[in-house]
Structure 1
Amino acid sequence: MPYKLGNRAWLHGALGEFIRPHWNRTVTPGRWEIAKPHLRVLIEALARRFGEVDVYLEFSTTEQCHEKCQTAGGDDCTCSCRGEQHGGGTYWTEWRMVGEGVLIGPVGRVERHYIVRSEDVCR
């Protein structure tokens, strides 16, 4: 969502008056940044407003993922698998099981891209 008059007010209406959305102009293109707990609510509100929204999530990794990630529920994943194994996700050929419940894989940063449409959002 671009930076323009009224969008900060819309964000407050969608997420509450106490959030502090920040417009990061140091990246190209610029982007709104919010606290992680507001992400799902914001994505759903944007999908309802615009019909669909592109979501880009960035994950960093240190090289290990644990079995607790694979059996996790909910949306929040802070594991180094970068969400690839979260909740039993698809197996990535670059990850190998070593030891008891530990996966190892590449180190670095990866970006995941999702498209969320208004019909995918519970009303």
Structure 2
Amino acid sequence: MTGQLEVRIVDGRVVKEPGIGPVAMVWLPLHGQVIAKIPARRGNRRWLHETVGIRSPQLNDDRWSLPRSCLVRLVTAAVDRYGLMVLWRDMSKLSRCTRACLEATGAECDCSCLGAHHGQDSKGWFERVGDAVVADLGECTRTAVVYGARGSDADAVVYDGELAGQRYRVDRAGRRDWPTAAHFMCAGCMSVRASVWDHCHTHGFVRAPLCNRCNTRAWRGWQPQHGRAATSLNLDDSYYRWCPKRTDARRQCSA
């Protein structure tokens, strides 16, 4: 597990603990496209296109309509970007658990277990960190599950460029030989275990494993009213060097 849960579903609403930043929410209906509500931020379309691999993401008001085939990549990328995300899913009451359920990485199948068994036989890149909240909608059941980065029971070690020079990927094939971020200490504060993989948005290379707070520290400043913790005296941004195209001009390598 990734540690203490910081986002919960209460009476059908997403409730965040104080100091928690923006959270992505994704809805998978019985039929049709995936609907995603992600925090407004410059570059969202580019992120969906280049990072998640969606050819033509469509924005309607504040929600994105995306192909169903992108779901696992979207959840993986959202967990890396926000630390936690909420997946709402409508499931037929007539569905049944199959072997595909046990081999799913957390969001790939539609069955009667409400996601309780998803991913038991596979190495996914995110894991369920909150119990499913269930609502009866007649012919279908709607569940809401909080997902976070996959944890590790091993002692955390210092990152030493194990993924140096690797392109950031969110598909299973691209991450087949990656260690989990939680295997390392956060390369930013060196105070807690890392949870997500940070990457350079300009050049697309993996940089280092970070904790959720260090990963989102550059979004809207350090002000607590913006959902970010105060700056740490231990903060070290030398992990930027793991982008092989970084120069001395930091502006050429984005957060």
- Deviation, 1:4, is 4.6
Post-superposition CA distance 1:53-82 (Å, at most 9, x none): 322222132x32335268641242133x27
| TM-score, normalised by the number of residues in structure 2 | 0.31
Contact 1:59 1:83 in 2 (8 A): no
1: CA distance, partners of 2:148 / 2:139: 28
Instruction: Name the residue aligned to 1:37.
Output: 69
More helix by share: 1
Contact 1:14 1:45 in 2 (8 A): yes
2: CA distance, partners of 1:34 / 1:72: 25
Rate the CA distance shift 1:56–1:14 in 2: closer, same or farther, 3 A. same
- Deviation, 1:110, is 0.8
State the AA in 1 paired with 2:84.
V
Contact 1:24 1:31 in 2 (8 A): yes
Rate the CA distance shift 1:121–1:82 in 2: closer, same or farther, 3 A. farther
- Deviation, 1:111, is 2.4
Q: Please, which runs of 5 or more residues in structure 2 have no aligned partner?
A: 1-37, 121-137, 150-180, 183-194, 198-208, 210-255
For residue 58 of structure 1, the aligned residue among 80, 83, 89 is 89
Rate the CA distance shift 1:65–1:12 in 2: closer, same or farther, 3 A. closer
Rate the CA distance shift 1:113–1:4 in 2: closer, same or farther, 3 A. same
Q: Please, which runs of 5 or more residues in structure 1 have no aligned partner?
A: 90-105
Percent of residue pairs identical: 22
| Match status 1:10 vs 2:47 | yes
For residue 23 of structure 1, the aligned residue among 59, 63, 68 is 59
Structure 1 runs of 4+ off > 6 angstroms?
Answer: none
Q: How does 1:81-96 map to 2 (within 5 A)?
A: 81=112, 83-84=114-115, 86-87=117-118
Greater RCO, CA 8 A, separation 6+: 1
Post-superposition CA distance 1:85-115 (Å, at most 9, x none): 65598xxxxxxxxxxxxxxxx7433122213
Rate the CA distance shift 1:41–1:84 in 2: closer, same or farther, 3 A. closer
Query: What RMSD in Å do the two structures reach over aligned CA positions?
Result: 3.4
More strand by share: 1
2: CA distance, partners of 1:5 / 1:88: 33
1: CA distance, partners of 2:90 / 2:55: 23
State the AA in 2 paired with 1:20.
S
Contact 2:103 2:119 in 1 (8 A): no
Contact 1:71 1:87 in 2 (8 A): yes
What is the total number of aligned residue pairs between the two structures? Answer: 99
Rate the CA distance shift 1:24–1:83 in 2: closer, same or farther, 3 A. farther
